[in-house]
Chains A and B, each alone.
Chain A
Amino acid sequence: MTTHTQEHTPHTGLIWKVFGILSLITIVEVILGILKPESLHLTKILGTSPLNIIFLVLTIAKAYYITWFFMHMADESKSLRRAVVWTAVFLIIYLATLLLIEGSYLNDVLSPLVKWSY
């Protein structure tokens, strides 16, 4: 409550700047998603295509801008920020890693058993 008694200057400039960045990232994603350049789409790096890595990085960049500037995480105390962000990042990476490794394993075991010719 006490934090709101002080004078506040409008942040509209920053807000529109962040909107511009988010829009730009989305436009890049959509263009790449429609064109799917063969050099990025059909090659493989780190277990997936470079295009997927690009999408993932751009998504995380968008998530950062939304959390830091729209949700004002940048203005929260360091302890709250770490309690929320580190917990989420650690648990999500942990879960995703295990699930995707298991998914690949299921595919290795299952796909030779699937009949595609009749």
Chain B
Amino acid sequence: MEATIATDSTGTSWSGGNNNPLGASYGKMMMWFFILSDALTFSGFLGAYGLMRFKFIDSWPIADEVFTHFPFLHGVHAPMYYVALMTFILIFSSVTMVLAVDAGHQMKKGKVTFYMLLTIIGGLIFLGSQAWEWKNFIGGSYGAVQLNDGKIVQFVDASGHQIELEKFAVSSHSERTQLTRDKGVWFMSESSLPPFSVEEVIAGFKANPDISIRLEKIDPVTKTKTIVPRAEAMTYLNETKAVVKGANLQVNEYGKPLFADFFFFITGFHGFHVFSGVIINIIIFFNVIIGTYERRGHYEMVEKVGLYWHFVDLVWVFVFTFFYLV
């Protein structure tokens, strides 16, 4: 074996010896190729999203109408601002990371520690923001009904803006309660019930003459969802199967279930990357504090986790474009 392995590694460090193919150290080169393979994984996911989006190009949910929440602004239609904020948080934590790498090159332990700490905090804020985004998406905004063939029908007021179910549905006393495990047999339960029954929504619709419905279908000229005149609306509502509020993997009030599936999967997979990045950053942060890299004579480890952290930022740039902008 000695003849084929041209290293003089003594087994004391995991450096891959003194050979530096492509002019990079073992760890750094491997990090680059890990990032390459991870980038291809993400492109596979985003590519699948693109495939399904082109398949349903005439009825895909419009992102501006889905992600409209901003902290402390209740009921205000604020598309994009929140994701823009999340993007800035991540870009800024990338900046502090690259500042930590830069300080590492100059062997300034104090600065590396400080910037690593800022990076970790930025990552945690981003994770919290993503949790809040998920909470809003799962909780929903207006509510809708689902027809027997699975299509989603939303309600609009006279000006064509979406209207909440609470605004018009007639509340009647109902005996229906949610089945939970403590009420029946242990293996039987159901997800939380929608706020209104189908009958209550339809009764409310009939009682309010200025409400109409909106289909998933996008008008190709105006790129907005098609509004059905009230006179024809009941032919759709007679087909109602269920009331939908919010989003889960089976159904969502914004339209195609695939939209929510891809959103949960891709942002979830990215969020998991951010989470592991934060954990790795914390480990390196403590290694910096106890002086591991000072003794080693270089801060290359900070550079390597930095590569991973920037990659997470890079992926977010694409997720931002394909989920929120395009």
Which of A59, A66, A80, A88 lies in contact with B313, CB distance below 8 A?
A66
Q: Across the interface, name the chain A residue whose C-beta is closest to B311.
A: A71
Measured in the bound complex, the distance between the Cα atoms of B53 and A70 in whole Å is 32
Give the nearest-CB partner of A76 in chain B.
Answer: B24
B249 to chain A, nearest CB (A): 21
Which residues of A lie under 8 Å from residue B105 when comparing CB positions? Answer: 4, 8
Which has the most chain A C-beta neighbours within 10 Å: B54, B92, B299, B314?
A: B54
CB pair B87 A100 closer than 8 Å? no
Query: When A76-B24, A118-B236 are in contact, do A100 and B325 touch as well, CB less than 8 Å?
Result: no
Query: Secondary structure at chain A's binding surface: helix, strand, loop or mixed?
Result: helix
A71 and B310 in contact, given A19-B91, A92-B40, A104-B54 (Cβ under 8 angstroms): yes
Given A30-B81, A95-B43, A102-B51 in contact, is the A63-B318 Cβ separation under 8 Å? yes
**Stretch of B2-10, B31-39, B171-179 with 4 or more beta carbons under 8 angstroms from chain A:** B31-39
- Are A88 and B106 in contact, CB atoms less than 8 angstroms apart? no
Question: How far, in whole Å, are A114 and B149 apart by their CA atoms in the complex?
Answer: 10
What's the Cα separation between A33 and B83 when bound, in Å? Answer: 12
Least distance between B39 CB and chain A CB atoms (Å): 5
Pairwise interchain contact B33-A84, C-beta atoms closer than 8 A: yes
Total A-B residue contacts, Cβ distance less than 8 Å? 161
- Residues 36 to 52 of chain B near chain A (Cβ within 8 Å): 36, 39-40, 43-44, 47-48, 50-52
Q: How far is the CB of A15 from chain B (nearest CB, A)?
A: 5
Interface residues of A (CB under 8 A from B): 1, 4-5, 8, 10-12, 15-16, 19, 22-23, 26-27, 29-30, 33-34, 36, 41-42, 52, 55-56, 59, 62-63, 66-67, 69-72, 76-77, 79-80, 83-84, 87-88, 91-92, 95-96, 99-100, 102-104, 106-107, 110-111, 114-116, 118
Known: A16-B95, A118-B239. 10 other contacts (CB 8 A): A1-B300, A8-B106, A15-B98, A23-B88, A33-B79, A52-B326, A63-B317, A88-B36, A88-B40, A116-B226
Query: Which A-B residue pairs are the 10 nearest by beta carbons?
Result: A103-B54, A77-B23, A8-B105, A80-B22, A106-B55, A4-B298, A103-B51, A59-B321, A99-B51, A30-B84
